[in-house]
Structure 1
Amino acid sequence: MEHSPESKTNTLFNTDFCLLFTNQILENEAAKGNNFVASPLSLHVMLSLIAAGSKGQTLQQLLHFLGSTSVGDLNLLSLKIINLASPAENVAGGPLLSFVNGAWLDQSFTMKSSFEEIVKGSYKAELKSVDFVTKAEEVVKQVNSWAEAATKRLIKDLLPVGSLKSDTALVLANALYFKGAWYQQFDPSSTQLRDFHLLNGQTLQVPFMTTNRYIRHLYGLFDGYKVLQIPYQRGQDARIFSMYFFLPDEKEGLHNLIQKIKFNPGFLNQQFKLWLEDLPHFWIPKFKFSFELEASKSLKEMGLKLPFKPGELTEMVDSPNSDRLYVSDIFHKSRIEVNEEGTEAAASTAAAFRFLCATFPTVLK
């Protein structure tokens, strides 16, 4: 998404985190020959909220991981993103975009007032009191219903059965939804089957969309890859939405492109020199797929480890045992469909927090 000149959200958001996380998933999925879609934005906002409830080395690790210097900056960025995507911004037409947050706290606890203020104020989340001790599976269904409604039924079963336990204390979740129509839509009668090359060397026949006339698009040639921008229909406000397609020059060049991005900080923040060009019969794949993962393993492999250990997530729950709270799981689901009319996509992330049970020494007689 592009922004009006007065908006600086794009310069504040850490696109390097996006690319590193994408590369981490790519390395894990490439060997399987799987497509994947994920929303680093959804994960970034979730980790920002976790940072707001942490202190000490855990907080510093989160700030470094997210490329920020303070929790205040992260909260401000999240608020800007949520305001930009709020339903009130969609009344003027154009793409539909929404970003919502939710929190579910066990009824035996209260949230620290400072954290509750951030949850409700900066993240505009509704806080619900629930019973994890005896009704954990009911809470699973409740969170899943919330995510499904927030994503227009694109994201279902965000939390797996059995993912919440009797010792779960808190669940934080967000949901992102987008639907936009192309500024110039494709003719379905021109869609054809063509070769699509997978990372594992296999070739599949998939439907490709094309145009039957010359259309002016922003386009650029770079060292080893091409970039094509396709805009969505605009509303009456200042927001501009586009999809960018990055195409490696070589058939098996995606890995090299990802490495180029990975080792060039700020790659996506640079101003790509694209120029308007009349493009005849360019081909864009028509696709629909979804992806899910429990993200804690990938995040740990990237160096984020302390939030998954008890000790310093003490600023969330008002409890004498707050130093035993830790992130047990981070579930993420994404889905996207690109067709002749436009794009519909959604993503949702949920983080579950548990208390580490105290252990007592065995007395031998």
Structure 2
Amino acid sequence: MPEETRSQINEWITSATAGQIKDLLPMGYLHHGTPAMLANALYFKGVWERNFDAYLTRDETLFLHDGCVVRMPFMSSTSKQCITYRPGYKVVRLRYGHQGRGEHRVFSMYIYLPDAHDGLPTLLHKLSADLALLESSRTLTDEVPMRAFKVPRFTVAYKTNTREMLLNLGLLLPFDGDIVEVGAPEPLVVFDVYHESFVEVNEEGTEAASAIAVAMRFGCAHLEAPVGFVADHPFMFLIKEELSGVVVFAGQAIDPSIPQ
């Protein structure tokens, strides 16, 4: 009963992501030639340590990478911020309040803003080539006064089958080699990798969800006076758990004005 199994997987993912990700696996996708599926989901909801005042939110101009401009709501704050300048870009760290009742965890969002309006691709290439450039709570600790601090209120969502992307990156073995051992009578190989993510950032905090489903088939195979931080053009953001250093969400805000 492939359709019943597909529904059960989708229902579990919807529940695990607080209803933010629905129908990850499309109708008719599973069939009797799909002997196994691996699914994982992640959900995060964090409230800012210091909320943005909604009364200060105003429509501002956002410059897109292609030279176009749009108007959208920008949140602003007069509070001190953890910010640093690097060659070609600047980074701000926004802390979330304490998470959970049990194990202590500390989360922050890092926004990487290139100096040039069209500088995001260059920045992404630079950071991916040297992960030591990623900031942390050890490199962004001191708060400094801000002349201007504005970030857009945005929602981004993305859904894709990452099979071709992973193959283009050189990840061949899971798709071509017999590496999956789950007690099946024949070798299993990865066939498809469905991924969907959702991130919403507003004055109160952040809600984010991500899910992945892997289908298998039988086969072989420090600044004293910063001038400000105004995120009015495409930027990258990370949500990181500070104690472990694990990045739980990463994304790009290219045109946050597009309704999701």
For normalisation by structure 2, the TM-score amounts to 0.78
User: Is 2:207 the partner of 1:341?
Assistant: no
8 Å CA contact 1:220–1:274 kept in 2: the answer is: no
User: Is 2:29 the partner of 1:167?
Assistant: no
SS for the counterpart of 1:244 is: strand
More displaced, 269-278 or 326-335?
A: 269-278
Q: Specify which of 156, 161, 165 is matched with residue 298 of structure 1.
A: 165
Cα distance, 1:262 vs structure 2: 2.4
CA separation in 1, counterparts of 2:148 and 2:131?
34
Q: Which residue of 1 aligns with 2:92?
A: 228
Q: Which residue of 2 aligns with 1:218?
A: 82
Structure in which a larger fraction of residues adopt strand: 2
Larger Rg: 1
CA separation in 2, counterparts of 1:159 and 1:238?
34
Cα distance, 1:227 vs structure 2: 0.7
CA separation in 2, counterparts of 1:228 and 1:273?
8
Q: Specify which of 35, 41, 57 is matched with residue 191 of structure 1.
A: 57
* Offset from partner CA, 1:258-293 (integer Å, 9 cap, x none): 121122243327753553102244101101121001
User: Is 2:18 the partner of 1:152?
Assistant: yes
Identity %: 38
CA RMSD of aligned residues (A): 1.9
Aligned residues: 217
Cα distance, 1:163 vs structure 2: 1.7
The 1:332/1:207 distance shift into structure 2, 3 A limit, reads same
Structure in which a larger fraction of residues adopt helix: 1
CA separation in 2, counterparts of 1:252 and 1:341?
29
What stretches of structure 1 of length at least 5 have no aligned partner?
1-134, 358-365
What stretches of structure 2 of length at least 5 have no aligned partner?
221-260
SS for the counterpart of 2:196 is: strand
Equivalent residues in 2 for 1:1-365, closer than 5 Å: 135-211=1-77, 214-235=78-99, 238-268=104-134, 272=139, 275-309=142-176, 311-319=177-185, 321-322=186-187, 325-356=188-219
SS for the counterpart of 1:215 is: coil
CA separation in 1, counterparts of 2:159 and 2:44?
18
